[in-house]
Amino acid sequence: MKLGIKDLNVELNNTLIMKDVSLGIEEGEFVSLVGPSGCGKSTLFKAIAGIVPVKSGEIVLDGEKLNDIPAYKRGVVIVFQDMRLFPNMTVSENIAYPLKIKGIDRKKRLARAEELLADVQLEGLGDRRVNQLSGGQQQRVALARALAAEPKMMLLDEPFSALDEELREDMRQLIKKLHHEFHMTTLMVTHDINEARLMSDRIIGGSSLFHYV
């Protein structure tokens, strides 16, 4: 889905932390935001997803203005670097959680979780607890859970930061594969310019995009 952001301003605790940000992403593009810590990349993600309120400006996805739409109705998911999996649930239950929220019955949502486990190459691990998985496996579960929500747009916030280089390469290849198979529009935050070059159709530099305030 096509994303358009125009003159976006975000304020937290009466302090303007993002000023006059504008960008556009075409449907099906994989775009990376690269820039120094604290320049506002993650704040932009949270604004797009509806986690932080927008003071002014517009966020438009697939022709629909998102500003006043609740986060759970936006069709946008974030995969955070700390993954935020539920330790009290099995792997399959974690993946199926977005479907549970939609009211899909248990049998159907767990069947879909099994399909997504295959997509992320974790077949047979659905009954495990997430603390029984490696860091790379947990990242795959987080991706599968995001895909279960059938998002219009995927936001990846430093998705490989906790992984060693071999696992990073595996995850890069997997995410590119899923990006194409699910025909998603994807926006990724990374501090690694080489990673951005390997994965992206286009790179946006944080220092040129964001205005420090």
pLDDT tens per residue across span 26-44: 999 999 998 777 777 888 9
pTM of the model: 0.86
Q: What is the pLDDT of residue 211?
A: 45
Provide the pLDDT for residue 12: 83
> Can you give the pLDDT at residue 130?
92
- What share of the chain has pLDDT > 90, as a percent? 62
User: Are the beta carbons of 116 and 144 closer than 8 angstroms?
Assistant: yes
pLDDT in tens, 61-80: 999 999 999 998 999 999 98
**Residue 14: is it exposed, middle or buried by C-beta count within 10 angstroms (0-12/13-18/19+)?**
exposed
122/210: higher pLDDT: 122
Return the ∠ at Cα 167 (arms to 186 and 153), rounded to 5°. 10
What confidence score (pLDDT) does residue 200 get? 93
